[in-house]
């Protein structure tokens, strides 16, 4: 599945509890994390280790007379191998554990009281653990709900069009969160969701036939 970008589009501060593989099909992309930058050209890919913050700048391919859209994909690997785990951000074990739980069930009640019961902690202890890792519960919940929505859009999963599935009160709230958290303009997020919800879902045989081929896509951005 792929994302089409007609203009330079930068998504910032992305963070997933699983390895995130970015592949460029057309155009180019720049991945940045800290002071490191990796340039990807057509056909190239790179997997960002778990829970490492990164930004992704997708840029169209310049051609005589006009720019051609960039086509790129974002896919999360279900499991991290030993090499990916060694490269992962291990400085925030509690935050990463909670982020993975939120991503798995973004619409659940992620209040401090409920998490404390699940983890057999007091709410004060939970907040202290996150604070020690430089995190806050409210920001983490919002971040991972946006991460889930972005991953669903990249898969062209109709669930992304359901703001409630991502844990937001309205489509507008989801769009605003996308802008605040990862820099995706609210109007662009709203258009992407509306285009996805308007597209018919492929049948199971069609999905199987598409496996291993170039990703299907529609022009989101």
Q: What percent of the chain has pLDDT over 70?
A: 82
Per-residue b or e along 173-189, where b marks 16 or more CB atoms closer than 10 Å to that residue's CB? ebbebbeebbebeeebb
Per-residue pLDDT band for 161 (boundaries 50, 70, 90) equals: low
> Is the per-residue pLDDT at 199 higher than 80?
no
pLDDT at position 206, please?
Answer: 43
Between 139-148, 149-158, 174-183, the lowest mean confidence (pLDDT) is in: 149-158
pLDDT at position 205, please?
Answer: 47
Question: CA 162, 217, 49 angle in degrees (round to 5)?
Answer: 80
């Amino acid at each position: 599945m792929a994302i089409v970008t007609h203009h330079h589009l930068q998504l910032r501060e992305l963070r997933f509890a699983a390895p995130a593989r970015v592949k460029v099909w057309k155009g180019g992309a720049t991945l940045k994390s800290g002071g490191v930058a990796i340039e990807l050209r057509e056909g190239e890919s790179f997997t960002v280790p778990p829970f490492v913050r990164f930004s992704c700048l997708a840029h169209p391919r310049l051609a005589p007379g006009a720019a051609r859209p960039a086509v790129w994909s974002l896919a999360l690997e279900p499991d991290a191998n030993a090499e990916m785990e060694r490269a992962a951000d291990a400085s925030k074990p509690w935050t990463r554990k909670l982020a993975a739980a939120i991503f798995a069930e973004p619409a659940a009640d992620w209040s401090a009281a409920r998490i404390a019961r699940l983890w057999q902690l007091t709410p004060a202890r939970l907040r202290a653990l996150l604070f020690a890792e430089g995190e806050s519960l409210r920001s983490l919940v919002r971040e991972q709900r946006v991460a889930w929505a972005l991953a669903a859009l990249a898969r062209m999963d109709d669930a992304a069009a359901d703001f409630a599935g991502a844990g937001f009160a309205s489509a507008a709230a989801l769009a605003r969160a996308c802008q605040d958290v990862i820099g995706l303009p609210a109007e662009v997020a709203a258009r992407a969701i509306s285009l996805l919800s308007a597209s018919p879902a492929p049948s199971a045989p069609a999905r199987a036939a598409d496996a291993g081929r170039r990703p299907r896509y529609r022009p989101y951005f």
